[in-house]
Each structure stands twice: as C-alpha cells, then as structure tokens.
Structure 1
Amino acid sequence: MKTILKLAIVFVFALCCRAQENITVINEKSNPKLIVGIVVDQMRYDYLTRFYDKYGDGGFKRLMNEGFNCKNNHFNYVPTSTGPGHASVYTGTTPKYHGVIGNDWYDKELKTMVYCAGDDSVQSVGAETSDGQMSPHRMKTTTFGDENRLFTQMQGKTIGISIKDRGAILPAGHTANAAYWFYGKDKGHFITSSFYMDNLPEWVVDFNNSNTAKFYLRTWDTFYDIETYTESGDDKNTFEGTFNGKETATFPYDLNALKDKNGGFDIIKTTPYGNSVVADFAIAAIKGESLGKDSVTDVLAVSFSSTDYVGHQFGVNSKEVEDTYIRLDKDLERLLKELDLLVGSGEYTVFLTADHAAIDVPAYLQSVHVPAGYVNSRMHYQKIREFMTNEFGDEALIESISNNQLFLDREKIKALDLDLDDVQEAIVNELITYPNIYKAYTATIMSTTSYTEGIEYLLEKGFNQKRSGDVLYVYDPSYISYGRTGSTHGSGFNYDTHAPLLFFGKGIKQGETFKRTEITDIAPTMSALLGISFPNAAIGNPLEFVLE
C-alpha cells in the first residue's frame, strides 16, 4: 500500500512538474524576446503612401503588409514637438501628466528656460563638453520600458538610441541600462551620461573607434535617378534652405567638402546618413548587449532623427525628403534582417511611429493658392507688452513668452492687488485681435474645463498645471512663426498630428484600420502584450484589434 502511495505521489509530482514546464514554455512563447520601438522624427503619415512605390519589400512595406497599419493615428495634444512626442509615445500619456511640455520651456520656479533632458547634476561620458549632461529627470512618469524593468526585477534590459539626446533619453525612461546619442562636431561618436554609467562599454568604444561616421562624409546624391522622383517638387526652388558653402539646395552634396562650414560631423545629421549611422549603432547594440537572447523581454528604443533635420532645412515637398525616406527604407530593411538573424524571425515585436508630423512650407502653399503664411511674432510680443503697460502700468508683469504661451509674474500681480483671472482674461481678449491669432485661452479655463474635441481638447491635454503658462494661443491654420524656407511643426492641425503607426512581429495581427488611434495608445498596447503594468500615468487604451 505504501509502495502504491509513493508511486502515486511520484506520478502526481511528475505531472505537476510537467505542467509547470508547459506553463514555462507557454509563458516564454507568449512574450517576444525583444520589443523594438522605432520613432521616425517628423514623419507624416502620407510619407507611407506618397513614396510607397519607391520603397523596397523589406522595410516600410514589410511592416505595412505583414503587420498592422493604423491609418488614422494622431497626436492628442499640443505642442507637437520632439521632446513631448518621444515622452508621450513611451509613457502612454500627454504633457498634462508627464510634464515634458516642450523641447525647452520657461521654468516658473527657476525663472529661466530649461531643456527637457538637461541635467547639470550629471556628467558627460564619452565627451569632454556639456553635451552629455543629460537625463530623464524632468519627465514625471514611467515608460513601458520602466514597467518592464520593474516587472522583470531589472533583468529585462532597456536601451535608447538616437542622433538627438532627447530622442534616446525620454523613450528609454528612468530605469534604463543606457541611452546613447550622437556627438558630431570633431568626433562623430556616440556618447552618454553618468546618469547611466561611468564609462562607455567596450562595444561602444569599439564602434566609436571604427570611424563609422567618417564613412558617411561622402557625396549625397539621389538613390535613384532624380528624374524618377515625381512624388516631390522641383529640385531647384525658393522654398528650401541649403548648407553653408553651397549656393543652391540642389543635388549632389559633397559632405566632406562642406563639413568644415557646417559643424564637422554634425553635417551628417541633416542627411539620410544620420539615420544610417543610427541603424549601424542599433545593430551593434543588439550584438553588444545580447538583446533578445533569453526569455526575459528586452526593450530597444530607436529614434531616427535625421528625417527631422532634413525636413526643417529642405521642406516637406523636397526631393531631399523623398530621398531621405527612400534611404531610411533601406536602413529599416537592414535592421529587420539583423533582427531576424540575431533574435530570430517571429521572436521580436516592432512598432513604428513618429514624434510629430510637419507642415508644407507656407510659401509653397501660397504659391498654389492655399491659405498660409508667416506670423510676425516679434510684433505680437511688442504689442502685448505695450498693452500691459497701458492697461496695468507694467510690461514686466509678463515674465516670458515661449512655446505660444505667456508666463505672468504672479508675485507682482499680487503686489499690485490685481486679480489673476482678470489679467489672464484681458490678455486673451487683446491677443485675439492680433493678425493670425486663431485661438487664445487662459490657464484657468484649461484647468477647469474638460474638452472632448477640437484644438481645445489638444491644448488641454498638453497643459500642465505646474509648468504651462498663464495664457495659451494658437496661430491660424498653415501659419507659422518660422523662416521662409523649410518645414516646421508644433500645432494641433492634422498636418502636425497625423503620424504613422505600424505594429509588426510576435503577437501582432496582420491587418489595417481607419479607426482613430492616438499616440498614447502605444505604450498600453505594448504593456498588454507583455502582461505588465501600464506606465503609471497612462491615459491611452490597449489596441485589442492589433493583438493576436
């Protein structure tokens, strides 16, 4: 009897162990080994469709045709710029909560402008300048990478990579193993800060010593015959900026000859080769950090920022932008092939989106009779300060004007026995009379009113009660405060908010939708895929229809 009982116990124990093994196998199979988040800086949704016939089968088309394409994806706040964009993609919330209200903003406590990733308490690693004094300390909330690190007891790695420091730092989050960004000038190296480490890893030193960036100081000409670039405007026109030392913004560009007048290796940033060196470094990181090599999910955040530099200089409709996306498509194909090889086909998940889109050059829009133009912001600043003197006796009641916001000196207002709400409202009523001011609102309205649609909804989601200004204003559609060449961004209009959103790989369905999705849905979707906590202030929802 005892023998039978012992055998039964052994049998049950074996079944339990086998079941546990099966559970382990199921769990391992359920999660991708690596999440790769790709943000393409200043990418409009229509770049997917406009240049579609120029793309190969292994880059954008592979993500679109084998993955899931959210065709009606939008940013749900203002301002649409790089810092807030990268933060919002990975935190699943907006500046209202994560606090990154711009690339730079006026700090009401410090009484000075601050940079979204700037941190004087840390030191540069890999550079002797202040370019490495950066961290995510001004971002108030967690990213899904942070939540994955917490969930896996810090075993899952998180690494951010970009040309721009903020494009690497904010996506990687607070608990990241590393964030690396490109230091051009006389080096052409990737650097980091002491927030992450005291010395660069050997694989980064090896990459920097390989002089990869120097390889890209070559002639930039179109990938295909320029005559076939029928999806963009004439190569020679009056709507584009050019490099110092070159008379016209026309192909080809001899980067080696132009580098000395354009910041040395920094010239690479404003060419498609900036994306190429990021792809090179990302592949080196996958190898050097052994990302996706075990059952614990890692996160790699890659931001391709040269698209933004090229867009700002040459404009949305330029041949330079078209060629940059054609070449980025090749870099994406190369990255995906390396992921297939190093992590395993079907073992990783990718999402691709943007941090904002961009406007067509207003001067070009004017030439084809679309209402557009340029705002004389200096005139606005002068007039509003004159108004403050005439109405309240002191123009210094305005401490700062930045990011289409006015910041008031509340201590002076109190000392003068003025009512803050009355001062704010008076400024709104004055501003709305100025040319090309489309909308204006007080901080009180933004703090007390819940909007569900329109520009007001976007302003509210971008308004941070502690950091934003006392008055917010919006320019007319297609009007910008900018130079007459090149494109910019920042508004809540569709040309700035409509951005691509592609999902691909393990756990992702094949398909497409025209349902509205918002940028804050990405992080909750990744969290749901991994079965981890949502970022702590996420307001987005998991996109169930993209998940298997």
Structure 2
Amino acid sequence: MKKSNFVLFVFILLINTKLTAQQHYSENPKLVVGIVIDQMRYDYLTRFDKKYGSEGFKRLLNNGFSLENAHYNYIPTYTAVGHTSIFTGTTPSNHGIIGNHWYDKYEKLSIYCVDDRKYETVGNNGNGGKKSPYRLITTSVADQLRLAQNMKGKSIGIAIKDRSAILPVGHTANAAYWFDGGKEGDWISSTYYMNSLPKWVKDFNKSKKADEYLSKPWNTLYDIKTYTESIEDNNDFEAPFKGQEKPVFPYDIPKLRKNNNNYSILKAIPAGNSFTTDFAKAAIIGENLGQSEHTDFLSISYSSTDYVGHQFGVASKETEDTYLRLDKDLASLFKFLDEKVGKGNYTLFLTADHAATQVPSYLKANKIPGHYIEPVKFMNFLKEKTKKHFNSDRLIEDFSNFQIFLNQEKIESLNLNSDEVANVIADASITYKGIYKAVTAKTMRSTTFTKGILNSLQNGYNQKFSGDVMLIPTPSTIIYSRKGTTHGSGYSYDTHVPIIFYGKGINKGSSKKKYEIIDIAPTISNLLNIEFPNGNTGKIIEEVIK
C-alpha cells in the first residue's frame, strides 16, 4: 500500500471511530426514570390485570421487558434497604443501610437511616429536613451517571417518604424532595442539597394541591361490587382510621384529617400517589429534565401504596382501589413524558422496594399458619435463659429488626465469652414459637451460605453494623398489630416484586428466569455506558438490552 493511501486509510478509520463513539454516546436516553412502588407484590400485576387500562402497567408490559421471577436476595426487606439496593446494585452487607431504623451499637441508641443533624430543613421551619444520605457507604447508579458526565446532567429524587427520595439518588444529587405532613403540608428538602427551594417548588406548595386532594372523600374508582379480586369490605383484618368505627368505604377524608395528623392522612390514601405524580411533572418542567445534551436521572417513589397496604392488608378492597388508581397515575405520567421529553428519548424502569405478607390473622381464619411475636414476651423469655445460664438478665442490649445486640460491656465485666453467650441465646431462640432459624454473627463471618434463606440472611448481614444474633421467623410470622400487615422477611411473599424495563434501548418481551433486585443498577449502567456503582454485586440482564 502506498504511503499516501495508508495515511488516508488511517485518517478515515480515526474519523469513523470518532463518529461511532459520538453516535454511541448520543444513543443514551435524555432522561432515565426509576419508579419504585412501595410494597408492591408481583401478583398485583396479574390479579388486577382485567381492570387496568391500556396505558399504565399494561403499556410497560406490552412494550417493555418484564422479569416475572425477580426477587430480593437479602433480609431484611424494608423500605430504606430496598430503595438503596435497587439503585446501588448491592445488598446491606456492602451498602450499609441495614434497616429503616436500627440500633447503633457504637452510639448505643436507635438511629434513623437518613437523619443528619448537620443539616437544616429547606422549605419550612420544622425538623423534617434534617436529613442526608451520609449513612450510605457506596455510590448509586445516579452518582455514577453524574461522575461519568463530569457532574453534568441533573439527578433528582422524589417521594412522600424522605428515605425513599434521598437514598436512590445517592450522594451527588442536585436535589431530593419529600412531603412534610402534619400541620405543614409542604414538599421540603435539606441544606445538604440547597439553601432555598427553587421557585417551581415554592409555586407548587403555594398551589395548595394537598388541600385540594384532602377536600374530597375516598370512594372506590369503580362500583365496589365489581371488586371481586379482594375480600369483603367489612372484615376483622383491617385497621380503621382514627375517629372511624369500621374500615369501610366511603372514607370522609375532609372529616378524618383532623384526627389523623392533618396533612399526613394524604400519605395513607391513593391521592398521595396522584399528588406525587403532580410534583414529579412539575419537577420535569421546573428542572428542564431531558432537555440538555446530557442524560438526567429522576427517581420517583410512590409511598402511599405502602401506607394503604400496612393499614388494610394485601387482600383488601382499599389495596385494590389504590392500584387501579395508581394505574391511571402512571398512564398520566407516561403520556407527560412522551410530550415533554419525547417518545424514544427516555428509559424507564419500574419495580418495588419489597412486597408483603397476607394478614396473618386472615390466614389463620382460613386454616393457614400465621403467627405474631410480642417483643416484650420474647425478651423476657431470653432474659430468663441468660439468668439461668450466666446469672444475669442484662446481657441483651437491644432487639430490633429480628436482630439481637449483646451488652458487650456487661459480658466483659462478668468475664463471660461473647460467642458462648450468643450461642446460648441462639439455641434458646430457636425453641420459641414463631422463630424458625437463629444464627450468630460468628457463623455469618465464618460460613458461606450459597443458596436458600440463610444466603439471604448473610447478604443482609453487615459485620460493622448488624447484631450478634440474627433470627428468621416462621413464614407469615410478624411483629405487628393483628389488623393490617407488614414485611421484612426473606420469604417469597416479601421478595417477589415486579421489575419492568421500558423505553430507549430496551427490548420487548418477558423472562421467567430468576433475577435479583441488585441486577437493575448494573443493567442500567451498561445501557448508559457508565461504570457500575462502586459496591455493585449484581449482574447485567443481557436479554433486556437491545
């Protein structure tokens, strides 16, 4: 080859490589939207399928990629832990968020996952904004996107719950906003992010949309007689609002708000999801999301589904109505994204932070095992055991999240062996009704469990922060009231959640293969051509990406 032709060949090759790289980068969506529905079981997709419209959940299912066998792979399945694991691509063993609240064995007190006294509230004079993500010790996919773009592009988190707004977007977010109920009724933030609210947030708060939603009763969207996917409205397994005799439709919200912490009742009704959607739309406009040459990131968490689920349970008409209304809210959001960002310009994923068990008292009424553990009785039982073995009933410092924290100072003062005390407590716990497995921290550190529920327990164990004895209850055994339900276990009713990808760069289809919640972050990272979150242990879901 002549020298001149060789030079020309190299020049053309370099130009093509540059153009290919630019084209590859330009293929990134203008906006990534991560939607988390608090306490959504996978079977809500199938159970209410006939009543969903065509533009909400079904739009994602018909035009996106659905994982039908997706699970959480750790214990405990709580809100803060779920949101963190979705966006960091790893489990509590690495990211450090081991609960909503947990016992801090160094400070000797119970702490809340996003409390931070170094910062002040932005938006009102209350204490609801003294928050930050500082207890999160890894990056999120939103952090990695910001880093990959040299801190260009915006990252914003939105949720009624503070933890659900803060943790998904990590440390580098431009903003996180959450709802301050009670007497306030405002969307607020923290000085961690800003010194004053943007004008669009102030304008939204001034619009008094919260009052508008609270001025209407909550009745069923459709004729209640058609709600055949749920049990009778008047039953013994649901908790009424304060000031109400029975938990039955219709709910006189204007009247009930006074006895239910005023604006906070908005969190506990479907209107809270509509309110969140309104605020998310205002954020997209106010922040010009999806309008620049860089990729923006928006996290939206729908919290009201969790409040409704806790109060009324999995099988209630209230839960059914909440999801039928949420379906319409999602349809409205998707249409808005089409108009403001453009069809084909955004990528979206939808999942849940955990699911929930059927109300145990309802299961028992149908001859299915279900059980309740009373913490005080359980602790008295263990104290009797330690008194018998070690002549002291002061060896347990705290019991929370099915973890036992030992009083190491007392153990040392009595010249006892900490591992021996933990073993005795574990052996005693397993004899207690409702406790299925008990494992010491030493076992967690010295043994590798590769599958099953003990693997999930190990994935949730953090050597620095977790307790000295970890407990697993029997299925559908909870620490909760007899009315309503909760979550937190490693059983499928708590772990099986929807994961649906949709939009730019996403294939159409579904999969019955088992995937884990931690696989979302690396999949989105790969789609965006960015580095994974720095604690990532998930894998790319190859069949999702075009």
Question: Secondary structure of the residue that 1:429 maps to in structure 2?
Answer: helix
The amino acid of 1:90's aligned partner reads F
Aligned to 2:238: 240
Tell me the amino acid that sits aligned with residue 176 of structure 2.
A
Of 37, 62, 86, the residue aligned with 1:40 is: 37
5 Å matches for 1:107-122? 107-122=104-119
Aligned positions of 1:75-86 closer than 5 A: 75-86=72-83
Which residue matches 1:156? 153
User: Alpha carbons of 1:16 and 1:456: their partners in 2 closer, same or farther (altered >3 Å)?
Assistant: closer
Q: 2 CA distance for matches of 1:509 and 1:490? A: 32
Matched residue SS, 1:295: coil
Q: What are the equivalent positions in structure 2 for 1:144-183 lying under 5 Å apart?
A: 144-183=141-180
1:83-482 matched pairs, under 5 angstroms? 83-217=80-214, 218-482=216-480
1:71 alignment counterpart: 68
Q: How far is the alpha carbon of 1:385 from its aligned partner?
A: 1.4
| Corresponding residue SS for 1:502 | strand
Taking every aligned residue pair, what percent have the same amino acid on both sides?
A: 52
Q: When the two structures are superposed, what TM-score results if normalisation uses the length of structure 1? A: 0.96
| Paired AA for residue 89 in structure 1 | I
Distance 1:10 1:264 in 2: 75
Moved more, 487-496 or 446-455: 446-455
Aligned-pair CA distance for 1:25: 5.1
Contact 1:84 1:102 in 2 (8 A): yes
Q: 1:17, CA displacement in angstroms?
A: 9.5
- Note the alpha carbon deviations across 1:138-168, whole angstroms, 9 max, x for none: 1111000001111101102110000000000
The Cα shift of 1:9 comes to: 13
Contact 2:141–2:169 (8 Å) recurs in 1: no
Range with greater deviation from structure 2 (263-272 or 392-401) = 392-401
- In structure 2, what is the equivalent of residue 485 of structure 1? 483
- CA contact 2:64–2:507 (8 Å) conserved in 1: yes
Provide structure 2 residue ranges, at least 5 long, that are not aligned to the other structure.
none
Kept in 1, the 8 Å contact 2:34–2:350? The answer is yes
Contact 2:153 2:292 in 1 (8 A): no
1:288, 1:11 → 2: CA distance? 49
- Specify the code of the residue in structure 1 equivalent to 2:54: D
Distance across 1 between alignment mates of 2:336 and 2:18: 31
Which digits, 9 at most, give the CA deviation of each residue in 1:198-229, with x for residues without a partner? 10001100111111111111111111111111
SS at match of 1:131: coil
2:168 match: secondary structure: helix
User: Which stretch shifts more, 75-84 or 126-135?
Assistant: 126-135
Deviations 1:34-54 (A, max 9, x none): 110000000000000000111
Q: CA deviation at 1:420?
A: 1.6
Structure 1's consecutive aligned runs of 4 or more residues displaced over 4 angstroms after TM superposition are: 7-21
State the alpha-carbon separation in 2 of the partners of residues 312 and 116 from structure 1: 20
Aligned: 1:27 with 2:29: no
Contact 2:83 2:167 (8 Å CA) reproduced = yes
CA distance in 1, matches of 2:455, 2:9: 59
Q: 2:472 touches 2:489 (CA, 8 Å); kept in 1?
A: yes
Work out the CA distance in 2 between the residues paired with 1:286 and 1:25.
26
Deviation at 1:415, TM superposition (A): 2.7
Match of 2:59 among 46, 57, 62: 62
CA–CA distance in 2 between the matches of 1:463 and 1:16? 51
Matching residue's letter, 1:204: V
SS of equivalent to 2:290: coil
Task: Decide whether aligned partners of structure 1 residues 12 and 474 sit closer, same or farther in structure 2, where only a CA change above 3 A counts.
Answer: closer
Deviation at 1:356, TM superposition (A): 0.4
CA distance, structure 2, for counterparts of residue 13 and residue 178 of structure 1: 46
Distance (whole Å) between structure 1 residues aligned to residue 375 and residue 453 of structure 2: 20
The answer to which of 388-397 and 470-479 deviates more is 388-397
* In structure 2, C-alpha distance between the alignment counterparts of 1:10 and 1:405, rounded to whole Å: 69
- Root mean square deviation, CA, Å: 1.8
Is the Cα–Cα contact under 8 Å of residues 28 and 295 in structure 1 kept in the other structure? no
Aligned residue among 530, 533, 536 for 1:532: 530
- In the alignment, the residues of structure 1 paired with residue 513 and residue 21 of structure 2 have an alpha-carbon distance, to the nearest angstrom, of 36
- Deviation sequence 1:446-498 (CA, Å, 0-9, x none): 11111111110110000000100000111111111111111100011110000
Number of residue pairs the alignment of both structures matches = 542
| 2:309 and 2:484 in contact (8 A); partners too | yes
Deviation at 1:13, TM superposition (A): 11
Q: Once the 2 structures are TM-superposed, how far is the Cα of residue 249 of structure 1 from its aligned partner?
A: 0.7
Residue 50 of structure 2 aligns with which residue? 53
AA at the equivalent of 2:179: F
What residue identity is the alignment partner of 2:31? L
CA contact (8 A) 1:313 1:487 kept: yes
